[in-house]
Homo-oligomer: A and B are copies of this chain.
Amino acid sequence: MNQQILLTPGPTPIPPETLKMESLPIIHHRTREFAELFRESQENLQYVFQTKAKVFVLASSGTGAMECAVANLISPKDKAIVAACGAFGERWVKILTAFGANVVAIRSEWGSAVKPSELEKVLNENPDTKAVFSTHTDTSTAIACDIKGYGALVSKTNAILVVDAISGLGGQELYMDNWNLDVVISASQKGLMAAPGLGFIAVNPKAWKLVLDSKSPRFYWDLRTVEKAFHDGQTPFTPAISLLRSINVSLKAIRKKGIQTIWEETKELANFTKEYGKSLSLKIFPKDPCEVLTSFIVPEGLDGEKIVQTIVDKYNISLAGGQEKLKGKVVRVAHMGFIQKADIEKGMKALAETLAASAVAK
């Protein structure tokens, strides 16, 4: 069987050189060889995050890294603002609520991002805010939040800014230090071009104070322990060795090409995808679109879920449908990480043919 073309927003295709590393014989983690891998991957991660802060590596998916952030930064009853622009903004609300935070949610209409002016207003009304949580690019709505704008505001307060960059990192512009982002979270299986199973959390000194103060229960997630082991090039618990060895190859490739070049290339792919959609008279769902994926509105009377399923069955190409309130209403095409222009073209052609056939059938 031919390999399926993945145009989903994670997991994304993995470069062959990265993939190969997963199948090397396993090494032990309490060794100099692992410590060397740890240090090298750390440098590469700091480059990709554009930060001098430590980037901690977790054996978890991206949501695990989000839970790690909340457990380390927020004590019960602490006030937290969420600038929520889709399903992944709502995920912050859910995790914070589970941890007993006093959550103030700013919800944009799906497809739009929360404006910095809205955040400013709520920040002013809530001077006791401990932390603001938001999303770099929310794949559910295919939008980008104005993280840079939020950073400029939050950095003037005592609060910290925590950014879920799981889907955006390595595709959409992000400067952790220059933009005053205090905590940035990501995962392995999207722009960073590796298999799922690694979570990342970068924490700057302003945020570290909250880590030392947090009263939320944690042991596996406890960044104080993680930080201690970090100094010896280690993790406190057995790391996902094969995944780290593998992703390091992708990180090196990003660094070699230059992250700004990759942002440019991703933007070009986004433009290509959007133009292709326009030529099919497809409307773009978000008003504030991101560059790592595009969400098209499914024409009236057609079922997005069926279209996606037909494209898998007939073309062996995997697009994404809609999530939650957008289920059946949008079709999403990712252009992040190792996704190739030729494959996007095949995906858009399949979408065009399937829409045409569905319209006729109707």
Contact = CB atoms under 8 A, between A and B. Distances in A.
Nearest to A71: B217
Contact of A241 (B99, B196, B239): B196
Interface stretch (A27-35, A111-119, A156-164): A27-35
Contact of A100 (B3, B24, B217, B242): B217
A197 B59 contact: yes
A195 B240 contact: yes
A99 B240 contact: no
Interface stretch (A15-23, A282-290, A343-351): A15-23
Contact of A237 (B64, B240, B318): B64
A31 B216 contact: no
A194 to B, nearest CB: 9
A67 interface: yes
B14 A25 contact: yes
A240 B61 CA distance: 7
A61 B237 contact: yes
Contacts of A23: 19-20, 22-23
Given A31-B318, A195-B26, A63 B11 contact: no
Contacts of A242: 22, 195-197, 243
Given A98-B222, A217-B217, A240-B195, A13 B26 contact: yes
Interface of A: 3-4, 6, 8, 10-14, 19-20, 22-31, 59-64, 66-67, 70-71, 76, 94-95, 98-100, 187, 189, 195-198, 216-222, 236-243, 312, 318
17 contacts: A10-B238, A11-B28, A11-B238, A19-B24, A19-B26, A20-B23, A60-B60, A60-B220, A61-B220, A62-B237, A62-B238, A63-B236, A64-B220, A64-B237, A71-B217, A197-B240, A197-B243
